[in-house]
Each structure stands twice: as structure tokens, then as C-alpha cells.
Amino acid sequence: MVLVVIKLWHSAKILYDVDNSTQYKLSKATIISDCNTSPLTDNSEQSPEMMITNSTLKIATFNLFNYIEPPNAYYEFERIYTAEQWAKKQRWIIDYLTEHQPDVIGFQEVFSIESLRELVKQQGYAHFAVVDEPQVIDDFIYKRPVVAIAAKYPIVEVASVKHDYELASTLGLTEDFAFSRRVLRATISLPHIGNTDCYVVHFKSKRPSIEIDETNKELTAEKNIIEILKANVAGGWGSTIQRGSEATLLMIEMISRREATQQPMILMGDFNNDLADGVLSHLLTNTLRFAPAFDSKTYLAKYCLNDAWQLFTKLHDDCELDEVANESIQGITDKDNRCLKPLRKATHYFGASSSVLDYILLSCEFDSGYDDSFFEVSDYHTYDRHLINPEFERDDLSTDHGVVCITLKLRE
């Protein structure tokens, strides 16, 4: 009689009791985990209750672009959707949700909270949360839209992230520093992985923080241009400081939360900046200067975030290496049979320029290169048809951002 032990992820083990015969027929197996012990009988076909369900999860970030129900207006009194326009905008959102079926969605630019809550509920999202309200300028005119989250799985806790005021002061920020838009943290009970902290952000835009009268008739034309230039230079830097500070203070809170709960982390939203830019690149910090190498290797990865795109392409590259190895073994040399390296699509266009502003960042539980991970990023999709090939009748009331949706597959 031979006893074979096979280790599964997260300390689960299967002990196979194998007949010492030429066919090595499986006679019995027992799963031993942290929480239970259950027998597996010798069935060649798994029973329905033993099949793994919900083996994939879809996470999306969706900037809705001025989601406000008429007769309310956004920013200025004439910016009101007609009933027909509003129905068309809602239809576009519903069509996306129907086609792509994300399980968790982080929304930005939400003015009409209850309207969105009802819309997603009708599409199967029973769980919805916000942590703020838009600001009323005058009766029916609103500014400062908020973020929201919708999920098909239970939201067990919701909070508005509070930053460390002492740290903010150390960084040279004023006492009244605040996130330009409150950061939402929703703890969602996801299949297989349990309570997961999902953060939704809409970082400060690149719009200059200093406003100036651009049609000041008291100044000469040249002097007016000079003043506008100064405001753009200084105000643009002010917005950059705000955006970078928001990311820094949020990351510190995420690390502290991770230490306290050990729960997986997902950060999604409109970052209003290229992630590779030095302003936000510290969100992906994964090396430490002067820290003990062994300790860093042991503990650091658990507290770091990973760009979902990088995890996806890394998995793609690993598959490609396997293909190349197989081709070598099989004598296949046709390079056309190999996968083409995926290219990241822009999520925003401004004039002739394009950029990636919308991101989903993941903790190590979703990194296939991490030994104890549960999921891997099997697909990364940027929905951009309305941006690069729009049809007026279909897309004129859609959004000015691409919609990013990733697929997480349970590791085998």
C-alpha cells in the first residue's frame, strides 16, 4: 500500500490511498484542510455538488461621464439631459453590463445615486454602496460627482477611507487636505477567497487647481496670456501634488488595513494619470532600499499591488514560453503559430493624444507567480468601440473613457 500526499494551495492537502497494483487504481481520497475533513469516493464522474462553481470573477472600472438624471443639471444650468437622451444613456450602460457581465464594478462620475442603484439592481447587482453625495450648487445644479460600487456578491462592510493627518503634515500638506473625491472601500465576500477589500477611486484631474478669468479685458492681450500661462503652470502642478498625495496617503491606509485584516486588496478607478508616471508609480512599489533581502522576499509581496495588465501579460508570456518549448520538442518552427504579444489599449483620448487613465490593481492573491495565490488574470479587456469607432445613434451619450474589465480565473 502506497500513501501519496499532494499539496494544494493554501495548506489544503489530498491524501491518496493507492492500491499497490500495476494499474494503481484510486480507491479512496480524503481532503484535509484548515477547517474540515471530507471523504472523496472513487467516482470517475464528479457529482454536481463537487463541481467547482464560480471559478471565474470579472472586475470592472467604469467612468460613467456625468451620470445625472433629469431635470437635474451638471455644473451649469443648461447641462440637462432630455428624457430621450437619458433613456439612451441608461440603455448604453445596460448594454455593456449585459454583454460583459462583470461581477464587481467600480463607478466614477455618479451624480444620481438612487437612479444608478436601481439600474444595476435590475441587472442583477443586489449589492451597491456609496460613501458620499454630490454637491448642490443651486437647487438642481450639481458638481463634485462621487464614486460607487456594485456587486453580485455580498458587501459586508463599507467605509470612506480616512487619511493619516499626522503623515499628511509630515509630507508638507495643509491641515485641511482632503481627497478631492472620497475613496470608497467595500469589503466584498467573493467566492473561494472570502472577504476582499475593494477600493474605488477617482483621483484629482489634471485640470489646473488655480482658476483665472481668461477674458480679463482690463489686461492687454499679451499680459492676459502671461497670467493664463502662470495659472496653468502653477495650477497644473498643484493638481499633480494633490493627485500624488491622494495616491500616497491611500496606499499607506491600504497597507495598514492589510496588516490588520490580511484580506486581499483590489484598487480600481480613474487615476487621471499614467501609472508609470512618477506621480503615481509608488502605487506599484515592490522593492525596498537597504531592507534585509531575506525579510523583503518573505514579507514584501503581501503588501504590494500589481497592475492587472502586467499580471495578464506575464501569464501570457509564460504561456508563450510553454508554446515555444512545445514547438521545439515537436519540431514546429512556424512563428505564425505563436501568440502575438498583446498591446494595451488607451482608455482616454484628448485631441490627437491618447493615454491609459483607468486601472485595476491587485494584491498577490491574484498573481499567478505568487505561490499562495488563488486566482490569475486570464483576460484583460478595454471596451473602446465608442471611442475609436463611434456610431452617433449608439454612442453619442456613452462615456469619454474606455471601460476596463478583467477576468480572474481560479488557479488549477
- DSSP string of 72-106, one letter each residue: -EESSTT----HHHHHHHHHHHHHHHHHH--SEEE
- Closest Cα partner for 239 from 280, 209, 277? 209
Residue 24 reports pLDDT greater than 60: no
The set of cell numbers assigned to 12 is: 489544503
d(CA 248, CA 240): 12
Question: Is residue 62 located within the same domain as residue 39?
Answer: no
pLDDT of residue 255: 98
Q: Check pLDDT > 70 for residue 33.
A: no
Q: Is the pLDDT of residue 171 over 90?
A: yes
pLDDT at 182 over 50: yes
Number of folded domains that form the chain: 2
Contact partners, residue 3, CB within 8 Å, separation at least 6: 15, 16, 17, 18
Report the alpha-carbon distance of residue 343 to residue 340 in Å, rounded.
Answer: 9
Instruction: Indicate if 34 and 60 belong to the same structural domain.
Output: no
3-state secondary structure of 177: coil
Mean predicted lDDT score pLDDT of the chain? 86
Q: Are residues 87 and 190 in the same domain?
A: yes
With H, G, I as helix, E, B as strand and everything else as coil, classify residue 166: helix
State yes or no: pLDDT of 324 exceeds 50.
no
Return d(Cα 328, Cα 333) in angstroms, integer. Answer: 7
Band the pLDDT of 299: cuts 50, 70, 90: very high
Predicted local confidence at residue 213, as pLDDT: 79
Mark 368-387 as b/e (b = at least 16 C-beta within 10 Å). Answer: bebeebbbbbbebbbbbebb
* Most confident segment among 16-25, 121-130, 338-347: 121-130
Separation of alpha carbons 195 and 266, rounded Å: 11
Q: pLDDT by residue (tens digit) across 247-259? A: 999 999 999 999 9
Cβ atoms of 57 and 375 within 8 Å: the answer is yes
Work out the pLDDT band at 55, boundaries 50, 70, 90: very high
Q: Is 192 exposed, middle or buried (0-12, 13-18, 19+ CB in 10 A)?
A: middle
- In this prediction, residue 317 carries a pLDDT of 77
Burial class for 52, CB neighbours closer than 10 Å (0-12, 13-18, 19+): exposed
Report the pLDDT value the prediction gives residue 297, as an integer from 0 to 100. 87
DSSP code for 41: -
Q: Is the pLDDT assigned to residue 6 strictly greater than 70?
A: no
Q: Which residues contact 138 (CB under 8 A, 6 or more apart)?
A: 77
In this prediction, residue 339 has a pLDDT band, given cuts at 50, 70 and 90, of low
Residue type, 164: D
Identify whether residues 36 and 157 lie together within a single domain. Answer: no
Pair 16, 62 in one domain = no
Alpha carbon distance 135, 145 (integer Å): 7
What is the pLDDT, as a whole number, of residue 341? 76
**224 lies in the same domain as 287:** yes
| 289 HSE (CA, 13 A, CB side) | 0
- Residue 340 CB neighbours (<10 A): 8
Between CA 294 and CA 292 the distance in angstroms is 6
**pLDDT, average across residues 91-107:** 99
Cell of 278: 512618477
Relative to beta strand 358-362, strand 306-307 is antiparallel
**Do 43 and 76 reside in the same domain of the chain?**
no
pLDDT of residue 52: 74
358-406 confidence digits (pLDDT tens): 999 999 999 999 999 999 999 999 999 999 999 999 999 999 999 999 9
Rounded to whole angstroms, the Cα distance separating 410 from 412 reads 6
174 and 287 both lie in a single domain: yes
The more confidently predicted of residues 342 and 269 is 269
- Residue 39: what pLDDT? 41
Distance CA 275, CA 282 (A): 9
pLDDT at position 21 over 50: no
Give the model's confidence band at 320: pLDDT under 50 very low, under 70 low, under 90 confident, else very high.
low
212-264 pLDDT tens trace: 877 777 888 899 899 999 999 999 999 999 999 999 999 999 999 999 999 99
Residue 390: which CATH number?
3.60.10.10
- pLDDT confidence of residue 34: 38
In a shared domain, residues 37 and 174:
no
Note down the domain range covering 14.
2-50
Residues 151 and 106 in one domain: yes
Q: 188 and 119, same structural domain?
A: yes
Question: For position 336, what pLDDT does the model report?
Answer: 52
Chain length of the chain:
412
Q: Do 106 and 218 lie in a common domain?
A: yes
Phi, psi angle pair for 205, to nearest 5°: -75, 175
**Residue 360 and residue 103: Cα distance in Å, rounded?**
14
